[in-house]
Amino acid sequence: MKCETLDVWKLSARLSADVYKTFKQCKDYGFKDQITRASLSIPSNIAEGMEKESYKDKIRFIEYAKGSSAEFITQTYIGMDIDYINKSEGKDWIERADHILRMLSNLQKTFK
């Protein structure tokens, strides 16, 4: 199964691109690096997992993607609190990341 065919990969890649665009001009390089890397890790781990041979390995990389999603949600909340992320945009990102988490859980079930 190619990652490019998965809706969860498409949605997470779009979310990551949106995050990168938002933080393009951010001068707080520590925060920018952390949140962009967390967002990028979601589709990257999905892609890596789909190329693994064993279901156990696929599940493990889906777990990594779920962890990155949770990390991204946490950083988004913090970003909203410190006024780096517009509240409306942040809420949208959190909703999208929650949706991605549910999709990842369902994908994981298909490999168990």
Instruction: Compute the distance between CA of residue 50 and CA of residue 108 in angstroms, rounded to an integer.
Output: 11
Cβ partners under 8 Å of residue 12, min gap 6: 39, 42, 43, 46, 65, 69, 100
Q: Which residue has the tokens 């509240």?
A: 87
Evaluate if pTM is beyond 0.85: yes
**Among 82, 67, 65, 101, which Cα is nearest to 31's?**
82
pLDDT tens for the chain, 112 residues: list them.
Answer: 789 999 999 999 999 999 999 999 999 999 999 999 999 999 999 999 999 999 999 999 999 999 999 999 999 999 999 999 999 999 999 999 999 999 999 999 998 7
Q: What would be the CATH architecture of the domain defined by 3-18+28-111?
A: Up-down Bundle (1.20)
Rg of the chain's alpha carbons, rounded to an integer? 14
Note the pLDDT of residue 49: 95
